[in-house]
Amino acid sequence: MKPLQGRVVLITGASRGIGAATAVLMAKAGADVAVNFFSSESEAAKVVAQIEQQGQKAIAVQADVRNAEDVKRLVETTVNQFGRLDVLVSNANINFAYKPFMEMSWDEFSEKLNGEMATAFRLCQAVVPHMEKQGGGKIITIASGLARTPSPNFIAHGSAKAALVTFTKYLAQELGPKNITANVVSPGLVLTDATKHQPKEMHEMMANLTPLHRLAQPEDIAGAVLSLAADWNSFATGVYLPVNGGMDLS
């Protein structure tokens, strides 16, 4: 049996990059998938088509996951379509100001922090009642290595992701008695549309810092997500899983 046979997965920010790769891999593992997108409708439709080619069901649902009403509609649409919701992958990218601390305004900093945390908070409050009703579920949040290893100009992003990591651990503690696990996947640098503009020299330097001597592809992160979502992995909760090619071996 496939490790997600009969399961339903909701993935936010699933039209491109890590989210799209995760959606396709979940389908290969036997899941039906709700593909959330914000503005990339055509890209989301392509992901749905790929999932259907795997013999699984999929829907594309537009929603701004920073918005409370959109989150409620997204979760209700998923449950109404598939009858259940087993796995939430909170992956949607929240834009952030890229600048030094002393050049950043509080509004710029708090916009990222509030957007990241409001998204996770609302999504989890929306899905937990459904998971509890059906006897359990899995929540997987996508953080960043910058949550633990600072890098210049990433203070807003890294601080928000660090808050997300701690939030997820609190979820693991509180939701465990409901048979709901909560884990973090923390990628290093991943080759996606969001990073392709970065200098080639930087990519080469970062690759050389890893024992594997390469950067991650979205599929590498998707594999880590599947490892936590699979039915045979039922005892891991509160886990912080770095997926960075061994860049940080501490």
Rounded distance between C-alpha atoms, residue 250 and residue 243, angstroms: 13
User: Which residue shows structure tokens 């390469």?
Assistant: 214
Are 182 and 142 in contact by the 8 Å Cβ rule? The answer is no
**Fold (CATH) for 8-242:** Rossmann fold (3.40.50)
**Given a cut of 90, is residue 50 above it in pLDDT?**
yes
What value does the mean pLDDT take over residues 35-46?
96
What value does the mean pLDDT take over residues 235-242?
97
Q: CA angle at residue 192 from 18 to 200, to 5 degrees?
A: 150
Rounded distance between C-alpha atoms, residue 195 and residue 88, angstroms: 25
What is the pLDDT, as a whole number, of residue 249? 63
Q: Per residue in 74-104, is it b (16+ CB within 10 Å) or e — as a string?
A: bbebbbeebeebbbbbbbbbbebbebeeeeb
CB atoms within 10 A of CB 208: 9
The DSSP 8-state label assigned to residue 40 in this structure reads -
User: Which residue shows structure tokens 């970065």?
Assistant: 198
pTM of the model: 0.94
What is the pLDDT, as a whole number, of residue 233? 95
Contacts of residue 153, defined as CB under 8 A and 6 or more positions apart, other chains included, come to: 98, 99, 100
Domain ranges of the chain: 8-242
Rounded distance between C-alpha atoms, residue 178 and residue 152, angstroms: 40
**Given a cut of 60, is residue 53 above it in pLDDT?**
yes
**Given a cut of 80, is residue 196 above it in pLDDT?**
no
Contacts of residue 57, defined as CB under 8 A and 6 or more positions apart, other chains included, come to: 32, 33, 51, 82
